[in-house]
Amino acid sequence: MTDLGVPDLDIETLRLLVAIESARSLSGAARARGLSQPSASARVKEFEARWGLSLVRRSARGSTLTEDGEAVVAWGRAVMHAADTMRASLAAMSAEKVEGVAVAASLTVAEYLLPRWLGELHHRQPDVRPRLHVVNSELAAEEVRSGVADIGFIETAVMPRDLARRQVGRDRMAVVVAPAHRWARRRTPLTRAEMGDESWVLRERGSGSRSTFESALRRVPNVAMEGTSTATLIGAAMAGVGPAVVSARSVVAEIETGRLVEVPTTVEMLRPLTAVWRAEERLRRPAEDLLLIAMESMRWV
């Protein structure tokens, strides 16, 4: 039980429920999670009993999620993402450095992409101990420039000309609003002029999100609130402070559950995800391998 007097979350069962949604079968989900079918079934029943919910509809044709089950899975994806991010970050921080690589990364890359990249780096080079600094794009470039970081990953269209660089992928920015916002019921895309008249919830200056939006808007936006994290922007948008511009990767769960609505626009907001390093130095092997992993990972995205 938690301090609030309610049961704690069982992340492994959340992973099993996600697998049931994908496999549409309890036995298939059990195999995917390395469980026996009786063990998987017992896990689901215990979870349902603990929370007083019916999550899985069982039939001769397979297992599907109930409406409550679909909501739990949508929330669970966000919980699992946060847990995976924390696990990768703790692993990078806690182990004694044998051969290190210092990585500076902007927020979206650090939250949604780097955990997978660092996991693959560990698989290939288990003795390498990364050190991760999560900063905005401008500061990530500065840490590389000053030698604090061996390699940086930034998400801005404004490239530092004094650093070597290679684009590893792209990220789409989305306009999101609370369901009660007048834009949530629009049938036509927002124009650049309409966007220019609105007051926005945005990241701070120096962030890739902010520079991408300003470049797309072609003017300095009106700001209702600034935040230094994506979570702050998402929370402010849900609270009705104003429309927010965030990475589409970061609001999948909120859009699936109806807590936010993505508003289409006539303005394309794609930003490059770019690796940067000091031009006068060759990347050491751990940093070079991380760059290759990033490029391989983003090839099909």
| E strand map for 248-294 | 261-263, 270-278
Nearest CA to 79 out of 174, 15, 173, 6 is that of 15
Do residue 61 and residue 24 come from a single domain?
Answer: yes
- Residue 89 sits in a domain whose CATH number is 3.40.190.10
Q: Is the pTM higher than 0.75?
A: no
Q: DSSP state, 190?
A: B
Q: Are residues 102 and 132 in the same domain?
A: yes
Residue with tokens 């999550």: 55
pLDDT of residue 98: 46
- Residue 2 maps to a domain: no
pLDDT at 79: 86
Sequence-separated contacts (24+) of 144-148 with Cβ below 8 Å: 144/104, 144/276, 144/277, 144/278, 145/278, 147/278, 148/102, 148/104
For 189, the domain range is 170-270
Residue 135 CB coordination number (10 Å):
22
Domain-terminating residue out of 32, 62, 78:
78
pLDDT tens string 127-186? 888 999 999 999 999 999 999 999 999 998 788 889 999 999 999 999 999 999 999 999
Give the pLDDT confidence of 65-86 residue by residue, as tens digits: 899 988 888 888 888 888 888 8
What's 262's domain CATH number? Answer: 3.40.190.290
For position 4, what pLDDT does the model report? 53
71 class by beta-carbon count within 10 Å (0-12 exposed, 13-18 middle, 19+ buried):
middle
Average pLDDT, the chain: 88
Over the stretch 210-263, which tens digit does the pLDDT of each residue have?
989 999 999 999 999 999 888 899 999 999 999 999 999 899 999 999 999 999
Residue 76: what pLDDT? Answer: 85
Higher pLDDT, 100 or 183: 183
Percent of the chain with pLDDT over 70: 94
Q: Are residues 164 and 283 in the same domain?
A: yes
Residue 17's CATH number = 1.10.10.10
Shared-domain flag, residues 143 and 289: yes
